[in-house]
Structure 1
């Protein structure tokens, strides 16, 4: 069947229809969600296991290479997933000139928070 056969003449003239790029964003969001499941579970169990520990014990745990690596992966997956989710909300519900600045602001905010968290984890890990 012809691709344009199901569209109205006005829709064809204006180029309205599927942008054919939504599936990629949908998959990215699902993959990041799947990555967050074990990482969030690890983090929650680890925090509960260290509840009541003194400061030096927690810092020692955070300086472990495995802990630092998993924490950095958690931050990357978390803020990537957050940016994708907020992008969908803005694209679906913001219908004004504020859409592009909102998308840019969300993306920059998520990057800034991820970088701040990663830098903090690395500062603790390397004892700077």
Structure 2
């Protein structure tokens, strides 16, 4: 006769691996985006139809360049975490692992190219 409690039978059977860390990361990045996206819209929006020289002069100032870089970086981090969680939950096996790697590479590539373009414009 085995004397196992319900808790002992349940230990190791759940999905409590990194769920809290993922949830916390998504909450922090979404709160950061709540503030960054309006700042980005208000700094980028008025100069949307401007000439190349006006845009280069505007983004050579540190404040608009910093807002744009933070928005791109945090936005891509949020995209990567969200897609990764969805893929880990719904796609299993080798296909899931390959798609997670693809999403990670894609998000880092987009973030790096956006920040590189911003640095090229700012300098």
Query: Fold match, TM over 0.5?
Result: yes
Cα distance, 1:98–1:60 mapped onto 2, change above 3 Å:
same
Which stretch shows the higher mean deviation, 114-123 or 94-103?
A: 94-103
Deviations 1:60-102 (A, max 9, x none): 1111111111111111100000000001110121133201111
Deviation at 1:121, TM superposition (A): 0.5
The SS at the match of 1:46 is helix
Q: Give the total of aligned pairs.
A: 120
Give the alignment partner of residue 104 of structure 2, picking from 107, 113, 122: 107
CA distance in structure 1 between the aligned counterparts of 2:5 and 2:122, rounded to whole angstroms: 60
Deviation at 1:54, TM superposition (A): 2.4
Task: Note the 1:9-24 alignment, pairs <5 A.
Answer: 9=9, 15-24=12-21
CA RMSD of superposed structures (Å): 1.9
The SS at the match of 2:92 is coil
2:60 — aligned with what? Answer: 63
Give the alignment partner of residue 82 of structure 2, picking from 71, 81, 85: 85
Cα distance, 1:47–1:16 mapped onto 2, change above 3 Å:
same
Deviation at 1:47, TM superposition (A): 2.6
After the TM superposition, list the runs of 4 or more consecutive aligned residues in structure 1 that deviate by more than 6 angstroms: none
Deviation at 1:7, TM superposition (A): 5.1
1:121 — aligned with what? Answer: 118
CA distance in structure 2 between the aligned counterparts of 1:67 and 1:45, rounded to whole angstroms: 10
CA distance in structure 1 between the aligned counterparts of 2:5 and 2:102, rounded to whole angstroms: 39
| Corresponding position: 1:54 with 2:46 | no
Q: TM-score normalized by structure 1?
A: 0.83
1:40 — aligned with what? Answer: 37
The SS at the match of 2:108 is helix
